[in-house]
Structure 1
Amino acid sequence: MSDATGNKRNGQGVVDKVAAILMAFSFDDPELDLREISQRVGLNKSTTCRILRKLMQYRFIEQDPATGLYRLGIRLFELGNLVADNLKLGEVARPYLEALTERVGETSHFAVLSGDRIVHLVRIESQQAIRVVPSRLGERYPFHCLSVGKAIVAFLPEEERKALLARAEFEKFTNRTITSRTAFEKELEKIRRCGYALDNEEFIEGIRCVGAPVRGYKGRVIGGISVAGPAMRLTSERIAEVIPFVMETAAEISRCFAKDQAEVPEKKLQEAARR
């Protein structure tokens, strides 16, 4: 039932309205007029028009000047390509992670930094009888208490790293979580010296991890890998044995990514030369 403003969903927020408008389009109906969009999302025309105009400013929506019909904008295509690129990164990393898990006997991950959160794109499960690593693909995790998060952030460009740390909250998850920027920056300095990062039960009690950065074209950090397992198996002695395998695997994936990404600008130069 509509209310006085034409909103069918009581308490509907701005994000809900924007999402509803974007999802009103489909393969069957790639272009819609204002009345059709308004009816599909349950908003009055003035509200729908106002949101459409704002979405057009950010290129999420386009309007055909000849017909007046609305359609999804090029910015969504660009964002979709970012998702596709991330998924491709994960698929490239997968065989290397499978080999790593086989070698060390623990669960391995490939992850990227998305905004101020870590997102796991690949997870290769250990075949150990006891597996207590609760990571989920696509879930967003804090960077400051994960080995892979620390490894990525440590090697970000300085300005990018400073901006990220300036807005970080450093939430406490266990008694071992680093909860201040000063202490975290000292941790990052240590990681830059040794090339790897540790999570010593800093996110979940009883779970330890070893992480290393993965680099792409021109050495830029594009993600990271980690090995995680129960603290009773990943003892200090065992971690010392695992570290070289993690760093070696990260280097192998980095070489693969660097080669793939270097070929893209080279192909563009070749195409330009042929014109």
Structure 2
Amino acid sequence: MRIHMIQIDGALQRGLSLLTAVCAAKTGISPSELASRTGLPTSSVYRLLKQLDTAGFVRKSAPGCYVPVPGFLSLTQDIDRNAILRDLARPAIFRLARKTGLTAHLGILENGMVTYVIRVAARANDSASFTREGGQLEAYCSAVGKVLLSNLPEDDLNEYLSDGEFVPLTDNTITNAGQLQQEIATARTQGFALDNFEVSEDLFCVSVPVGPQPADQNCAISVSSSRSARIYEAPESVLDDLRATAAEIASRIAGPVEVQTGNL
């Protein structure tokens, strides 16, 4: 996750900065390490930790180390992350569809499948009518899927590629694991991927990643059209709009900021 550096004063922001650092640590973390990570004076760290302990957000674990309280962490477990992502990103996806005149999607990777969190059609009769919000498609043959696969750690990608058979949906569907790996590597290098009539004989799609983003929120956006729109002749013509929209969404879903402290 990319950290945005900003200048903020106030006890609330210092406390949130410290709490974020405690939650981000994989194990217990010491006050001196917290001071190093947040830029807060060690005296302020001790004072804020005592207040957070009293409020029930953190507890001392091993000698000299602090961890977040499980009850506090459980508050986020019932949050519907897809619903929040949908609410934050829909306005940008709507504008993308209207500006390009193409059907726009935002998708995430779930269990090797692309889940379409948002779908906005520019026209009533669009070629991607078989997609729907909450619906899924195979990742290996879709542009969104290739981008999402390109963001996976290498071990996870290798597991996906060796996990099963890739069924051809059209004559253009890539079904060879080695060729698919090359296609995914190309998507990672060039920053976008294509569905070259691989899902449907009459559907072409261009996708880019949404990033930077939280590590557990791998998502991508796309625009798609039928052959008649002819974007397959110049897919680069929609890249600027896609990338601008992706950057806007990334700024909306970015995680907590890192606080640059002044005189405390």
Residue 39 of structure 1 is matched in structure 2 by: none
1:81-230 equivalent positions in 2, closer than 5 A: 81=79, 84-127=80-123, 130-133=125-128, 134-217=130-213, 222-230=218-226
Distance 1:170 1:255 in 2: 35
| 1:113 partner SS | strand
Give the Å deviation of 1:169: 2.3
Q: Which runs of 5+ in 2 are unaligned?
A: 1-73, 260-264
Deviation by residue 1:183-231 (Cα, 9 ceiling, x = unmatched): 0011011111110010010001110000111235466762111101112
Give the Å deviation of 1:234: 3.2
- Find the partner of 1:262 among 245, 256, 262: 256
Question: Structure 2 vs 1, CA of residues 104 and 224 (structure 1 numbering), >3 Å: closer, same or farther?
Answer: same
Distance 1:203 1:108 in 2: 16
Which has the higher Rg, Structure 1 or Structure 2? Answer: 1
| 1:119 partner SS | strand
Larger % of helix: which? 1
RMSD, matched Cα: 2.5
Distance 1:220 1:231 in 2: 35
Distance 1:200 1:167 in 2: 23
Distance 1:187 1:110 in 2: 20
Which amino acid in structure 1 is aligned with residue 127 of structure 2? V
Give the Å deviation of 1:239: 2.1
Q: Which runs of 5+ in 1 are unaligned?
A: 1-75, 268-275
Question: Structure 2 vs 1, CA of residues 221 and 198 (structure 1 numbering), >3 Å: closer, same or farther?
Answer: farther
Question: How much identity, in percent, do the aligned residues show?
Answer: 29
Report the number of matched residues: 186
Distance 1:177 1:248 in 2: 29
Give the Å deviation of 1:158: 1.7
